Amino acid sequence: MSDTLAAPSLPLLLARQQAAFRAEGPVSAATRRDRLQRVIDMLVKHNDAFCQAMGDDFGGRPAVFSMMNDVAGSLGSLKHARDHLEAWMPDQTRPSVAPFDNFGATAWVKYQPKGVVGIIGTWNAPLFTLLSPLASVFAAGNRAVLKPSEIAPRTAELLARVVPEFFQPEELAVVTGGPEVASEFSRQAWNHLVFTGSTRVGKLIMKAAAENLVPVTLELGGKSPVLVGSGADIANAAERIAVGKSANSGQLCVSPDVVWVHESQAEALLASLQSHYSGLFPSLADNADVVPVVNAQHFARVESYVADAGARGARVVIAGDWPDAASVSTRRMPLRIVVNPAPESEIARNEIFGPALVLRTYTDIAQAVDELNAGERPLALYYFGTDATEQAWVLNHTLSGGVSINDVTMHPALHDAPFGGVGASGMGHYHGHEGFLEFSHARSVYSAGAHDPRREWGMLPPYNENFVQMIRGVVTG
């Protein structure tokens, strides 16, 4: 198979995979484990090359971060699926229809693979957003075609080269290309389609998939908020927020975007954020631990958000080394904290997806929750505090894709719990048993007993009065 499949080849590739799926019949646990193991083997063999490719795509992303986030993160999903899929596969017995269950009628749910799944990844985690959902897809017995992001072209090209070492194209294939290929990809008649990216593009993906009634899993992100309760340990909260925000320089879909803190604790939190972030990155331009903003376009976008907020009167606090010409040329940014920006400012309205953070103050945490609930539901929500009553209240009065308590960005690492969004932050999920269910068809099966009592009970035409009264009793009873 060639490294790049042009858009016109997609229908043929999909048809070949679907034909192979139909010819295969039931997909055994051994086959599913073997497919997952081959992805694991591929990652282990080419770990260093993948880390180098991701580093080159970002213009200096630390290899250790790529190894931790994309390689080890994907391996965690793949190994968990490999080790647990056999327990997920068996039919589930369900209660049958009364009174026929008294005559031997039974029922169960059979979980079967859907067929061929298309997976569109994104640039900020160019391997994880492809291979973590693939773990659930393979565990459920499906075949797949991957579409890596063109914004990480070296990673995409490497993946397209190494997948054929371990898989025939009828089993797993890679399609590379730009937006026109992604558009064509989303219009195919997949049996399921996965997309990770922005809400704006997610709407286009869903619209295209609707033409063929393709079910979708969308992981979209949003302005993931942090609620710092009045009883929180400010220094601990600041350190964990700084660590989470620094990961990939804020270029993560679950990166903290806006922090809410009581007005009496705002200055202490600001100072602690500055201190902890500076401790992580004492220098900027020459610091190989600082992940660059992925390209000049995104660098300019984040800069414009901060500048717009400042021009509208917001206070901007810097955490970390001051930027200079060298840091700008390497696209390494310090963390800018924008305090109480105007609601109409760009940084208040858009997901930041970079090294900037909004800080807002409240007088009552219910005020912050009301403002959060007035907006779109986020992919992640974070709460810091020691008050169990307040924590329960926050969880019961908010809705988000997932939650981390007294930390940030940690719940996506739960391999045995679903990861996904809600509303504008996405739909569907992968990871664990719920991921297996996402990519399986739950098929209800009813099996009749040997004896059918309906005629002797007057349940078939011509209906008698006894049957009418029996049904009336069912309705009124």
Helix intervals (H) in 211-283: 234-246, 266-280
Helix (H) / strand (E) containing 172: strand 172-174
- Token look-up 């295209």 returns 208
Distance separating alpha carbons of residues 104 and 447, to the nearest angstrom: 8
- What DSSP line would sit under 279-324, residue for residue? HH-S-STT-TTSPPPSSHHHHHHHHHHHHHHHHTT-EEEEESSPP-
- Identify which of 72, 77, 74, 71 has the alpha carbon closest to the alpha carbon of residue 50: 71
Catalytic residues: 219, 253
Distance separating alpha carbons of residues 73 and 57, to the nearest angstrom: 19
Q: Which amino acid is at 321?
A: D
Strand residue runs (E) in 366-439: 380-384, 402-405, 426-427
Distance separating alpha carbons of residues 34 and 30, to the nearest angstrom: 6
- What DSSP line would sit under 420-441, residue for residue? ---GGGEE--BSHHHHHHHTEE
Distance separating alpha carbons of residues 245 and 233, to the nearest angstrom: 18
